[in-house]
Structure 1
Amino acid sequence: MSSHRTPIRVLLVDDHEMVLQGLRAMLSRFPDVVEVIGTAGDEAGAVRAVTTDRPDVVLCDVRLRRDSGLDVCRAVRAAAPDTRVVFLTVYDDEQYLYQALRAGASGYLLKRVDGQELVRHLENVQLGDIVIDPGLAGRVAAAAAHVRRGEFWPGARLGLTQRESEVLALLVGGLSNKAIAARLVVSDDTVKTHLRGLYRKLEVNDRGSAVAVALRESLFH
């Protein structure tokens, strides 16, 4: 696990006190990497906290008793655009994943994740990656696997080349640049070139927005 000059500042949002206590205890084992700066149980509390404390990451359940976690994500992103939101939930549902990414989330993880895995995912989010539970990512990637050489490919109608479409499919599957390069047997720089091209054609500026367009346009379903 890589080290950071300063710990990643995390706000926990959940409406179950036992969950909040458990997460705080789990993350406290990694004080050099993660610092829990506070907790909240609803949208209003989350917005107050991010406005005041400006955490790096908000770790939030997708469903709360009084609010939708998706609404929390939108409100947090509006109040503090530099703060990333990662969902941590029991809901193993692709539709929630798609909705989370459309809402601007940087990750969707399941509560079966262990402490070391969670911290690793938070590190990747801090580096700008989109993180998705491996089981869910595998199902999404499988749905995108119909891209075949010589056939009409998803994204062609948006101006994407076949290789750009393949890169976008792997983005939707939650793969990092390095993992995409390994899967396609190309260099990291080549992946970055393809990303710049598909960002320009989709009129977006980042990975999350590109994934949101792919899901909105149902390119891989």
Structure 2
Amino acid sequence: MTEPENTIKVVLVDDHALFRSGVRAELDRAVPDVSVVGEAGSVDEAVAAIRHLRPDVVLLDVHMPDGGGAEVLRQLRPELPDVVFLALSVSDAAEDVIAVIRAGARGYVTKTISGRELADAVRRVHGGDPVFSPRLAGFVLDVFSQKPGAAPPGDPELDLLTRRERDVLRLLARGYAYKEIAGELFISVKTVETHVSSVLRKTQLSNRYELSRWASDRRLV
């Protein structure tokens, strides 16, 4: 059946089929002007589907087994500049947001969003507005304030930390206990303690409260 002329055509990219089904049901049932015309569960499937269907908006997962949203954008943005990409992810980590925005996504919302809020986000990015979940606004504004394609400003202290140390620090600053951090990152409590000790040593700070402030100042939280 041919879509009405004013319907916003959407391709949904996520590696969890159950999640895709839920989003499709929400949009198809409650939102007459937004229609999911295709789905994909991997980078390769996404690239093929988007090339074939030429949607107005792509709802794009950030992490997938064979790559992620940034890779889909890298392959398609130069080729399909009129297709709008909106990241839809469980992650609210600054590096994930920055990566897909720099790759060309027009917005980034988390999976806690409701169906109607998501439909509204689709309409807004289709209309040319950038859209972000409220808690992401701070570091997103920082990204937009820089020249397109520029790297984030360097931070010598932050650069001393490994990726895993940053992961531990982010959760610590959000108030997670060591046991909760261990469960979240699939590591032992002893390993968490080792990472925290290393971060304290590298930053020359004394306790988790100082670390939380330090992480917040660098928008890691």
> TM-score band (shorter)?
0.5 to 0.7
Distance (whole Å) between structure 2 residues aligned to residue 112 and residue 125 of structure 1: 18
Q: Is 2:148 the counterpart of 1:213?
A: yes
1:124-203 map, 5 Å: 124-137=124-137, 139-140=138-139, 172=141
Distance (whole Å) between structure 1 residues aligned to residue 7 and residue 101 of structure 2: 25
SS of match in other structure, 1:88? strand
Distance (whole Å) between structure 1 residues aligned to residue 111 and residue 23 of structure 2: 10
The structure that has the greater radius of gyration is 2
Q: Give CA deviations for 1:13-48 in whole Å, capped at 9, x if unaligned.
A: 111110110111111123422010010111221111
In structure 1, the gaps of 5 or more residues are 142-171, 175-207
Match of 2:35 in 1: 35
Match of 1:101 in 2: 101
Contact 2:31–2:116, Cα closer than 8 Å, also in 1: no
Contact 1:27–1:36, Cα closer than 8 Å, also in 2: yes
Q: What amino acid is the match of 1:91?
A: S
Distance (whole Å) between structure 2 residues aligned to residue 211 and residue 26 of structure 1: 36
Cα distance change, pair 127–47 in 1 and its aligned pair in 2 (3 A): same
Contact 1:42–1:72, Cα closer than 8 Å, also in 2: no
TM-score by length of 1: 0.62
Match of 2:66 in 1: 66
Q: Is 2:114 the counterpart of 1:114?
A: yes
Q: Give CA deviations for 1:177-217 in whole Å, capped at 9, x if unaligned.
A: xxxxxxxxxxxxxxxxxxxxxxxxxxxxxxx7x65538635
Give how far 1:79 is off.
3.2
Q: What amino acid is the match of 2:75?
A: A
Match of 2:182 in 1: none
Distance (whole Å) between structure 1 residues aligned to residue 116 and residue 13 of structure 2: 20
- Fraction of identical pairs, as percent: 35
Q: What amino acid is the match of 2:30?
A: F
Aligned residues: 153
Cα distance change, pair 119–104 in 1 and its aligned pair in 2 (3 A): same
Cα distance change, pair 54–214 in 1 and its aligned pair in 2 (3 A): closer
Cα distance change, pair 48–214 in 1 and its aligned pair in 2 (3 A): closer
Q: What amino acid is the match of 1:216?
A: A
Match of 1:90 in 2: 90
Match of 1:22 in 2: 22
Give how far 1:173 is off.
6.7
Q: Give CA deviations for 1:121-171 in whole Å, capped at 9, x if unaligned.
A: 11110111111111111x327xxxxxxxxxxxxxxxxxxxxxxxxxxxxxx
Distance (whole Å) between structure 2 residues aligned to residue 49 and residue 12 of structure 1: 10
Distance (whole Å) between structure 1 residues aligned to residue 94 and residue 78 of structure 2: 24
CA RMSD of aligned residues (A): 2.6
Contact 1:6–1:32, Cα closer than 8 Å, also in 2: no
Q: Give CA deviations for 1:90-134 in whole Å, capped at 9, x if unaligned.
A: 101111111111000011110000011111111110111111111
SS of match in other structure, 1:82? coil
Q: What amino acid is the match of 2:95?
A: Q
Cα distance change, pair 28–95 in 1 and its aligned pair in 2 (3 A): same
Contact 2:10–2:58, Cα closer than 8 Å, also in 1: yes
TM-score by length of 2: 0.62
Contact 2:43–2:64, Cα closer than 8 Å, also in 1: no
Distance (whole Å) between structure 1 residues aligned to residue 74 and residue 146 of structure 2: 16
Could you tell which deviates more after superposition, 111-120 or 22-31?
A: 22-31
Contact 1:7–1:31, Cα closer than 8 Å, also in 2: no
